[in-house]
């Protein structure tokens, strides 16, 4: 009895013999389409009337160039050096530490004033350990030279990369900010970064990267954050300085981080950010941003022309009424035609122009009050991101107006209405009516 396997082999042999002898012919008819016309081949097939076979071919002698997508760049870190993370492990730096451990880091040093003995930090340590990465705590203040030098000298192996993520917020209107509050915020980023740079230079370390976690506030500014914005602008400039010395550096301006770090931990802060202006950054994207920052400092950066700074978190395209549209640096982020810009601008300024025409006509304060209230109400509703206009007779504090929001309104009164209104006058106003009455007395009458 012939086995099934033997029969199959015999059958296949006969088939190939017939094919070699030219007894088996291709199915006819054959409809040939060139590679550049593949859509037409599918359209022909969808017609349901074809016979035979459809073949995609440019002929036996055609030279066909097929674009090949380059292999994705692999992110990997060295296993024979230590990486210094400044800022502790409880926030977004902890998430980045785990990501670094996943991609080859075997030694991580965490420098912070509070150390890494707390429960949240220890959870990060265990996660890193699961990838074969040892984490060492270095308790100290990055703005203190002796603490930084000790962290470098006590490293189990030479430090091969620095992630500067120190941050301290002391938000307050600039005119109310003390010099101590200003320097408390800038010290960790300004003096701290100088200390990190100096330590690496004195120990003659060959760093793979020197990534500084800056903030988008240093690019566009944020109300009540003059100190924090200044500190981040310093990081942006310091990246340029280090690169001018032939040293690796990148300042990464982070936007709103949604699910890890300070904003996520505060609870409810996300609702205060305009989603039309800011693009939220999740944890996975944060990890990719770190990778790009490190790649930008390699021998083959992704974009050499922008290797010193990486700006993230700004929405593209920006809404046409975005406040940063006044800054020419962001004009390229508004994707709209000039005619649309003009009509949009005219529509947005219509109420303002009407108000000034009324003012120019010599109208008294009583006549100006209603249009002024309507104008300011529209602005307040937008700035406070309210779903409905505010009630003019109600206290403004009911709608969440605080001293930081008042700074933004003060600037708007000055730039758009020419009225010098203090933040105290705004926050202490009993109602929108009383505030607008005060504003009207401060507006300079336009020249005839």
CATH number at residue 399: 1.10.1200.10
User: Does 348 lie in the same domain as 277?
Assistant: no
- Total tally of structural domains belonging to the chain: 3
- What is the structure's pLDDT at 163? 98
User: Does 315 lie in the same domain as 289?
Assistant: yes
Residue 239: CB atoms within 10 Å: 28
Residue 196 has, within 13 A of its CA and on its CB side, a CA count of 37
User: Does 357 lie in the same domain as 238?
Assistant: no
User: Is 145 part of any domain?
Assistant: yes
User: Does 389 lie in the same domain as 247?
Assistant: no
User: Is 417 part of any domain?
Assistant: yes
| CATH number for the domain that contains residue 146 | 3.40.50.720
User: Is 435 part of any domain?
Assistant: yes
CA dihedral 370→374→377→379, nearest 10 degrees, is -130
User: Is 16 part of any domain?
Assistant: yes
CA angle 418–423–429, rounded 5-degree value: 95
User: Is 185 part of any domain?
Assistant: yes
- What is the structure's pLDDT at 128? 97
Q: Using CA atoms, how far apart are residues 201 and 167, in angstroms rounded to an integer?
A: 23
User: Does 253 lie in the same domain as 140?
Assistant: yes
Given 286, 302, 325, the domain boundary residue is 325
pTM of the model: 0.66
Tokens representing residue 74 in the block: 């692999």
Host domain of residue 250: 82-325
User: Does 172 lie in the same domain as 267?
Assistant: yes
User: Does 273 lie in the same domain as 233?
Assistant: yes
Bridge partners for 84 per DSSP = 109, 162
User: Does 349 lie in the same domain as 315?
Assistant: no
User: Does 354 lie in the same domain as 319?
Assistant: no
User: Is 75 part of any domain?
Assistant: no
Backbone angles phi, psi at 70, to 5 degrees: -65, 150
Decide if 89 contacts 110 (C-beta within 8 A): yes
User: Is 149 part of any domain?
Assistant: yes
Tokens representing residue 104 in the block: 């080859």
Q: Using CA atoms, how far apart are residues 57 and 55, in angstroms rounded to an integer?
A: 6
CA distances from 397 to 153, 224, 430 (A): 53, 18, 9
- What is the structure's pLDDT at 402? 76
User: Does 343 lie in the same domain as 320?
Assistant: no
User: Does 91 lie in the same domain as 44?
Assistant: no
User: Does 125 lie in the same domain as 274?
Assistant: yes
User: pLDDT tens, position by position, for the chain (448 residues)?
Assistant: 567 778 888 889 888 888 888 888 877 888 888 887 888 888 888 777 777 888 888 777 677 666 667 788 899 999 999 999 999 898 899 999 999 999 999 999 999 999 999 999 999 999 999 999 999 999 999 999 999 999 999 999 999 999 999 988 888 888 888 999 999 999 999 999 999 999 999 999 999 999 999 998 888 877 778 899 999 999 999 999 999 999 999 999 998 887 776 655 655 544 445 555 667 788 888 999 999 999 999 998 988 888 899 988 887 777 666 667 667 777 667 655 454 444 444 544 677 777 787 777 777 888 888 888 888 888 888 777 777 888 888 887 777 777 777 888 888 888 888 888 888 888 888 888 888 888 888 886 554 4
- What is the structure's pLDDT at 138? 95
């Amino acid at each position: 009895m012939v086995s099934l396997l033997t029969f199959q082999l015999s059958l296949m042999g006969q088939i190939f013999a017939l094919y070699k002898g030219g007894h088996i012919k291709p199915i006819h008819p054959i409809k040939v389409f060139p590679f550049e016309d593949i859509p037409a081949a599918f359209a022909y097939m969808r017609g349901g009337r074809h016979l035979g076979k459809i073949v995609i071919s440019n002929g036996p002698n055609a030279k066909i160039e097929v674009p090949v997508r380059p292999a994705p760049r692999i992110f990997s870190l060295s296993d024979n050096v230590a990486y210094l993370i400044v800022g502790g492990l409880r926030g977004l730096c902890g998430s980045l530490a785990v990501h670094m451990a996943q991609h080859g880091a075997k030694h991580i040093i965490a420098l912070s004033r509070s150390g890494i003995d707390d429960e949240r930090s220890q959870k990060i340590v265990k996660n890193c350990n699961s990838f074969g990465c040892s984490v060492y705590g270095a308790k100290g203040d990055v703005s203190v030279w002796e603490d930084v030098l000790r962290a470098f000298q006590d490293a189990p192996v030479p430090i091969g990369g620095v992630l500067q993520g120190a941050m301290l917020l002391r938000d307050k209107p600039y005119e109310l900010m003390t010099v101590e509050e200003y320097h408390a915020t800038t010290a960790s980023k300004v003096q701290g970064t100088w200390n990190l740079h100096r330590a690496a230079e004195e120990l003659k370390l060959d760093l793979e990267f020197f990534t500084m976690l800056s903030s988008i506030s240093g690019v566009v500014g944020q109300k009540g954050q003059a100190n924090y914005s200044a500190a981040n602008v310093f990081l942006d400039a310091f990246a340029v300085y280090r690169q001018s010395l032939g040293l690796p550096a990148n300042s990464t301006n982070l936007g709103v981080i949604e699910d890890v770090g300070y904003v996520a931990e505060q609870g409810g802060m996300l609702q205060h950010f305009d989603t039309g202006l800011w693009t939220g950054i999740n944890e996975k994207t944060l990890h990719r941003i770190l990778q790009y920052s490190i790649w930008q400092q390699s021998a083959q950066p992704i974009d050499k022309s922008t290797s010193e700074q990486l700006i993230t978190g700004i929405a593209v395209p920006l809404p046409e009424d975005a406040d940063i549209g006044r800054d020419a640096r962001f004009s390229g982020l508004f994707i709209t035609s000039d005619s649309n810009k003009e009509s949009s601008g005219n529509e947005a300024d219509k109420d303002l122009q009407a108000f000034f025409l009324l003012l120019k006509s010599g109208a008294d304060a009583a006549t100006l009050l209603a249009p002024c209230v309507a104008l300011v109400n529209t602005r307040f509703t937008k700035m406070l991101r309210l779903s409905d206009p505010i009630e003019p007779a109600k206290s403004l504090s009911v709608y969440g107006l605080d001293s930081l929001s008042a700074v933004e309104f003060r600037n708007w009164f000055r730039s758009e209405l020419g009225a010098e209104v203090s933040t105290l006058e705004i926050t202490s106003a009993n109602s929108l009516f009383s505030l607008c009455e005060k504003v009207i007395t401060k507006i300079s009458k336009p020249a005839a």
